[in-house]
Amino acid sequence: MNTIRLLAPLALFAALSAAGCSSARDVEVTGEVKSASSTQGKIFVEFFDIAGEGEDLELTSVHSVELDQLGTFAEKVPLEGDRVLVRAIADADGNGACTEGEAWAEMEAAIEEDAASVALDISVQACPAAK
């Protein structure tokens, strides 16, 4: 019985410590996805945490959402850095990535007071290179 009393606080401490290891915070990312051309179908929106600069730039996918159509969104996204990259794809083939011939756009935004806002005007263009 005494052993259980001693181990219970240690187990609780270990669980709380493991849960608190990340320095990410929830950031409210709002935006609008629009298109000058007639784009129909699902829009895949992906959020990337940005670390580093130039050749040391590192993007980490942290969240994604699928919109039923063009329009606005508001998402709580776990981010560690002070910038976010948001990419929207008119995902005709449903693979969650840009495929040749699909309209897409991306925008980087600074995070201020745990919020960021983007406006994405998607169009058919060469797919983004992996970073």
What is the pTM for the complete model shown?
A: 0.80
Mean pLDDT of 81-107: 94
Residue pair 88/75 in contact by the 8 Å Cβ criterion = no
Place of tokens 């263009």: 125
pLDDT confidence of residue 18: 46
Task: State the Cα–Cα distance between residues 48 and 80, nearest whole angstrom.
Answer: 10
Task: State the Cα–Cα distance between residues 10 and 17, nearest whole angstrom.
Answer: 10
Cross-strand partners of 26: 78
Residue pair 45/63 in contact by the 8 Å Cβ criterion = no
pLDDT confidence of residue 128: 87
Task: State the Cα–Cα distance between residues 89 and 2, nearest whole angstrom.
Answer: 59
Of 80 and 129, more confident = 80
Is pLDDT above 70 for 6?
no
Is pLDDT above 80 for 11?
no
- Average per-residue pLDDT for the chain: 86
* 24-124: CATH topology: Immunoglobulin-like (2.60.40)
Residue pair 63/80 in contact by the 8 Å Cβ criterion = no
